[in-house]
């Protein structure tokens, strides 16, 4: 654990807790008022509860040039990033993507596309749809471990994180409360429903929240499309290609559009925001993640539009190479923030319940 990063975040947290001007803002500020002293795990919990909306910074009277020089969003962003890297497994890869994200993503996509192109040349040509270019067995052999191994890696990292922040036994009410907050992206409303200040400085905007929701639901629709295709294939012996009015297409096409548009919007917003209010060291890695996620949607749409043309073999290798790179990088890219944030929201529900229970005792 980086002592300097935690110590600086603790210093700023204690000042904020004494001031409490921002108490009506996002969930971080009601949460920090529960404590007078902050253990390392408390700081890590607050950091992952923060969504970097930056409203507190623009409202703060103690930012530079004041001697306190508070930059609470950046302090928590550094702790948050450090927690992901520290708990990542295998740990040696933890910092790699964030420091050279664009180069790594490009190399992986190109490498996987080349391998898939070579597999196409070995394919006998049987099957229809995509299977006319790449055998179903080969796709399963590539994508099944590429999907399961990153999830196992995330599970290992979350176990250590959960212990650090003091998470307890899971209860349905905690999961449901966290689910409601995550589905609405509640913490991106600035705490009072007026939006956040991510790219607008001291002006409020809901654009970041809307774009995050666009990406979230686009990704879920794409995942549902792939899952429905898997069920149709194995449970009902209905093999691809599927028509436009089939479940995979009805879910996948809107999902791809939402994912592409949302990621493009988030990438643009990131160029409008002050990098000094986040974790500066990982700006490139975060941008690489957004572009890679958007590329999974864009290449999928391009492949669908090119159906029946000579461009399908090339576009298929690019799309599948992009998806493979995305999944394999999942435990080390900012995609892992979704898992950590949900775990943090669950823990926050538990901590709030514990306070209510203590207050209810005679």
Position 266 in a domain: yes
What pLDDT score was predicted for residue 23?
A: 82
Is the residue at 137 inside a domain?
yes
Domain membership of residue 290 (yes or no) is yes
Tell me if 204 sits within 8 A of 191, measured CB to CB. no
How far apart CA 45 and CA 47 sit, in angstroms, is: 5
C-alpha 90/C-alpha 156 separation (Å) is 9
CA angle 189, 281, 3 (to 5 degrees): 90
Q: CA-CA distance, 231 to 249, in Å (whole number)?
A: 14
Whether 267 is covered by a domain: the verdict is: yes
Cα angle 298, 125, 113; round to 5: 35
> At CA 16, angle to CA 86 and CA 159, rounded to 5?
25
Q: Which pair of tokens denotes residue 44?
A: 């890590």
Which helix (H) or strand (E) element contains residue 333? none
The conformational region for residue 166 under phi > 0 = left, psi -120 to 50 = alpha, else beta, is: left
> Can you tell me the distance from the alpha carbon of 292 to that of 102, in angstroms, rounded to the nearest whole number?
9
Tell me how far CA of residue 154 lies from CA of 61, 84, 182, 293, in angstroms.
39, 10, 19, 18
Token digits for 92? 């040696």
Tell me, yes or no, whether 130 lies in a domain: yes
Quick check: is 58 in a domain? no
In a domain, 215, yes or no: yes
Q: At 168, is the secondary structure helix, strand, or coil? A: coil
The pLDDT assigned to 116 comes to 86
- Residue 319 contacts by C-beta under 8 Å, 6 or more apart in sequence? 296, 299, 300, 302, 303
C-beta neighbour count of 66 within 10 angstroms: 10
Domain contains 84: no
pLDDT at residue 347 in the model: 95
State how far the alpha carbon of 171 is from the alpha carbons of 176, 177, 252, 343, in Å. 9, 10, 33, 12
Q: Could you tell me which residues come within 8 angstroms of residue 104 by beta carbon, excluding any fewer than 6 positions away?
A: 96, 97, 288, 329
**Cβ contact 256:217 at 8 Å:** no
* Per-residue confidence (pLDDT) for residue 122, from 0 to 100: 75
Q: How far apart are the first and last CA of the chain?
A: 40
Calpha distance 301→58 (Å, rounded): 40
Q: What one-character-per-residue DSSP string does 339-350 give?
A: HHHHHHHHHHHH
pLDDT score for 40: 94
Provide the residue-wise pLDDT of the chain in tens; the chain has 362 residues.
566 999 999 999 999 999 998 887 888 998 988 888 899 999 999 999 999 988 889 889 999 999 999 999 999 999 999 999 999 988 877 778 877 878 888 999 999 899 888 888 876 666 666 777 787 778 888 888 988 999 999 999 999 999 999 999 999 999 999 999 888 887 777 666 677 888 877 788 889 889 999 999 999 999 999 899 888 888 887 877 778 888 889 999 999 999 999 999 999 999 999 999 999 989 888 999 999 999 999 999 999 898 888 898 899 999 999 999 999 999 989 899 999 999 999 999 999 988 887 777 76
Where in the sequence is the domain holding 311, given as residue range(s)? 89-360
Give the pTM: 0.89
When divided into structural domains, the chain yields a total of 1
Handedness of CA 152, 28, 294, 241 (dihedral sign): positive
What are the C-alpha distances in Å from 209 to residues 30, 52, 56, 184? 21, 12, 17, 9
Task: Report how far residue 174's alpha carbon sits from residue 352's, in angstroms, rounded to the nearest whole number.
Answer: 10
């Amino acid at each position: 654990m980086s002592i300097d990063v935690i110590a600086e975040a603790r210093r700023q947290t204690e000042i904020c807790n004494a001031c409490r001007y921002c108490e009506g803002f996002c969930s971080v500020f009601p949460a920090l008022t529960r404590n007078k002293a902050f253990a390392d795990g408390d700081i890590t919990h607050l950091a992952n509860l923060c969504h970097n909306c930056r409203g507190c910074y623009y409202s703060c009277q103690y930012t530079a040039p004041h001697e306190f020089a508070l930059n609470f969003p950046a302090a928590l962003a550094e702790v948050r990033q450090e927690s992901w890297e520290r708990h990542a497994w295998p740990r040696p890869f933890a910092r790699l993507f964030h420091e050279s994200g664009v180069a790594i993503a490009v190399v992986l996509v190109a490498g996987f596309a080349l391998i898939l192109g070579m597999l196409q040349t070995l394919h006998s040509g049987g099957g229809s749809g995509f299977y006319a270019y790449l055998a179903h067995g080969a796709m399963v052999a590539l994508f099944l471990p590429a999907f399961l191994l990153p999830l196992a890696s995330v599970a290992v990292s979350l176990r250590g994180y959960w212990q650090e922040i003091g998470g307890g036994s899971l209860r349905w009410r905690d999961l449901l409360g966290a689910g409601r907050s995550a589905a609405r992206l509640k913490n991106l409303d600035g705490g009072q429903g007026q939006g956040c200040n991510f790219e607008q400085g001291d002006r409020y905007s809901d654009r970041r929240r809307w774009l995050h929701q666009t990406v979230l639901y686009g990704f879920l629709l794409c995942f549902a499309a792939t899952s429905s295709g898997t069920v149709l294939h194995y449970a009902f012996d209905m093999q691809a290609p599927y028509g436009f009015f089939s479940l995979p297409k009805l879910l996948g096409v809107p999902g791809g559009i939402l994912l592409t548009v949302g990621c493009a919007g988030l990438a643009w917003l990131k160029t409008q925001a002050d990098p000094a209010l986040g974790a500066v060291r990982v700006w490139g890695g975060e941008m690489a993640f957004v572009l890679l996620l958007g590329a999974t949607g864009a290449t999928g749409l391009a492949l669908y539009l090119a159906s029946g043309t000579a461009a399908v073999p090339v576009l298929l290798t690019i799309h599948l190479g992009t998806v493979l790179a995305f999944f394999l990088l999942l435990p080390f890219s900012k995609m892992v923030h979704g898992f950590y944030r949900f775990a943090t929201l669950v823990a926050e529900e538990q901590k709030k319940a514990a306070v209510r229970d203590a207050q209810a005792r005679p």
